[in-house]
Structure 1
Amino acid sequence: MSHTAHIPSHRKPRRSASKLALRAGVAGGVLSTIAVAGAAGPASAEPVTETIEMPTLGSLGTDLSSAVAASAEASQQEALDQSLEAQEAAALQTAAKEAKKAKAEADRKAEAERAEKARQEAEAKAERERAEAEARAEAQARASRDSARTQLSTTSASSDSDSGSGSSNDSGSSAGSSSESTQVSSGTAASIVAFARAQVGDAYVTGGTGPNSWDCSGLVQAAYAAAGIDLPRISYQQSSMGTSVSLSNLQPGDVLYWGSRSGSYHVAIYVGGGKYVGAQNSSTGVVERSLDWDPPSGAVRLL
């Protein structure tokens, strides 16, 4: 038995093909050098004294491994740099798209704000012009009503003066008395009609009693008050007074009513010519209308 039998055998690691090729190349080079030196030896008088120092196989393997590792690291770094460049390019492209989109949205909002501002300014201007037009119309209507009321007062005073004069001249005759009664009645009716017509164009307001807004019974009450006649405030109370008359026998100053006489819900003043003046509603205000526009239920005469 061998004296080394007790030592476990170990299989040597297999050398890679590249290392075997390298060593074979190095060995071949050494043998070639020796062969050349041997062929020249007998003919030369001087022995070979120069020694060629060859690299060891261990150092060559280490250098090769270092070179391979460095090449792999360089390749990996280059691949990483290219990946970073691609990511940066993609990020720049995305940022450019987002910036373009944000700019378009900002432009759209700015345009919408400008349009809204222009619309509000146009509406405000139209509202100012409408208010100014209404104010001018109201001022003209007020001036017209004031003029009509002044004329009404002058006419009423003249009628009262003429009536008093006629009464003193013919106090003892029945004909004179009848003439006076006719003049007073005509003057009173004219005053009522003139006052009612002077309010046309005023607003309708529930409970309104003037001077620039009325409801139906408030207007009738004020028109009769202008002629010196007191009437109740409520429409059914007004239509319950006086004498009932046919719609075919109306006279200026008669009170028209809608509904039953003792339960009327609307009243107006007949002004002659088949027309009446009344505070109709909040949409129309005080108007002068034909009887056909809204035929009344009946009429009463208070004069």
Structure 2
Amino acid sequence: MSHTAPIPSHRKPRRSSSKLALRAGVAGGVLSTIAVAASPAQAEPVTETIEMPTLTNVDLSGALSNAVAASAEATEQSALAQDLRAQEDAAAAAAAKDAKKAKAEAERKAEAERKAKEAEEKARAEAERASRTSERTTLSASSSDNGGGSDSGSSYSAPATGSAAAIVAFARAQVGDAYVMGATGPNAWDCSGLVQAAYRQAGIDLPRVSGAQSSMGTSVSLDNLQPGDILYWGSRSGSYHVAIYVGGGNFVGAQNPSKGVVEQSIDWDRPSGAVRIL
């Protein structure tokens, strides 16, 4: 082979542009057909138009204001309801307290009236017994025939009668009650409170404290006591304790918190003196 001879090419011969175009057109047509066959039926276009309301700034602000006003009104109503309930609860508590106080006061008055009635009945009974005893003593004295003139000097001390009997009966009716400083009954007493209440049964108003009570009336000897006399301990104008002589050498007094109201002999704690008011 001549060195000038043309060397055969190993490349494939080029296809002509017309053949390439033809092949591309066929391929495109086939693909288009397949795509059309595979795609679903096209939906009908929407022809109806829905108009939405237009919200302006004025509408939004008005709605917000109404909502805020409604919320504020609801809050105010709730607060008013709570305040009303609180007032009702307070009124109910106050009414219950007043009712309890009124009941206690009514019970106290009823108890005092009961004791006063018992004291009055007891005083009446003692007065009747004293009257019968006095009649028997008078008869006995008039029927005596010893002819010697006067008796041996012994004296008869009659039981309490009249106002003194009412005082004594009331004092004895309180025996067993408690002693409480400053108490004036009906179930607890201090010494002067008991004396004052007892004398009230006879229509006599005494001062409240023992020193003033012992300054009333006239001073009497402890050897010449009568039922209803006021016994005192300490000086007459400055006594620290008082009690009521009930006869038979005994007195009734509100002694102290451990003993309460008792009846006992004057020899148990000899008083400093006595005064007579009746």
CA distance in 2 between counterparts of 1:179 and 1:206 reads: 33
Cα pair 2:165 2:228 within 8 Å, conserved: yes
Matching residue of 1:130 = 104
CA distance in 1 between counterparts of 2:270 and 2:205 reads: 17
1:144 aligns with 2:134: no
Match of 1:288 among 257, 261, 267: 261
Q: Gapped runs of 5+ residues in structure 2?
A: 1-53, 175-183, 186-192
Determine which structure has greater relative contact order: mean sequence separation of CA pairs < 8 Å that are 6+ residues apart, divided by chain length.
2
Cα pair 1:217 1:234 within 8 Å, conserved: yes
Match of 1:211 among 201, 209, 213: 201
CA shift in 2, pair 1:185/1:253, >3 Å:
farther
Q: Deviations over 1:233-285 (max 9, x none)?
A: 9623557322479xxxx9987742133146547532245899743589xxx9x
Match of 2:170 among 178, 181, 198: 198
Task: Report deviation, 1:175.
Answer: 11
Q: Gapped runs of 5+ residues in structure 1?
A: 1-77, 221-232
1:235 aligns with 2:208: no
Task: Report deviation, 1:167.
Answer: 1.7
Cα pair 2:232 2:239 within 8 Å, conserved: yes
CA distance in 2 between counterparts of 1:198 and 1:207 reads: 11
Matching residue of 2:63 = 89
Structure with the larger helix share = 1
CA shift in 2, pair 1:105/1:175, >3 Å:
farther
Q: Which amino acid aligns with 1:256?
A: L
Kindly tell me the number of residue pairs found equivalent between the two proteins: 195
Q: Which amino acid aligns with 2:214?
A: S
1:257 aligns with 2:229: no
Task: Report deviation, 1:151.
Answer: 0.7
Cα pair 2:130 2:159 within 8 Å, conserved: yes
Task: Report deviation, 1:83.
Answer: 2.3
Cα pair 1:256 1:297 within 8 Å, conserved: yes
CA shift in 2, pair 1:185/1:83, >3 Å:
same
CA distance in 2 between counterparts of 1:96 and 1:251 reads: 87
Q: What is the TM-score when the length of structure 1 is the normalising length?
A: 0.47
Matching residue of 1:177 = 151
CA shift in 2, pair 1:121/1:89, >3 Å:
same
Matching residue of 1:230 = none
Cα pair 2:233 2:239 within 8 Å, conserved: yes
CA distance in 2 between counterparts of 1:278 and 1:116 reads: 45
CA distance in 2 between counterparts of 1:242 and 1:85 reads: 107
Matching residue of 2:129 = 155
CA shift in 2, pair 1:150/1:206, >3 Å:
closer
Task: Report deviation, 1:161.
Answer: 0.8
% identity of equivalent residues = 22
Q: What is the TM-score when the length of structure 2 is the normalising length?
A: 0.50
Task: Report deviation, 1:115.
Answer: 0.9
Task: Report deviation, 1:102.
Answer: 0.6
Q: Which amino acid aligns with 1:185?
A: S
CA distance in 2 between counterparts of 1:136 and 1:96 reads: 59
Matching residue of 1:7 = none
Cα pair 1:258 1:266 within 8 Å, conserved: yes
CA distance in 2 between counterparts of 1:142 and 1:216 reads: 17
Cα pair 1:256 1:267 within 8 Å, conserved: yes
Cα pair 2:123 2:165 within 8 Å, conserved: no
Matching residue of 1:113 = 87
Q: Once superposed, what is the RMSD of the aligned Cα atoms? A: 4.9
CA shift in 2, pair 1:110/1:255, >3 Å:
closer
Cα pair 2:229 2:274 within 8 Å, conserved: yes
CA shift in 2, pair 1:264/1:240, >3 Å:
farther
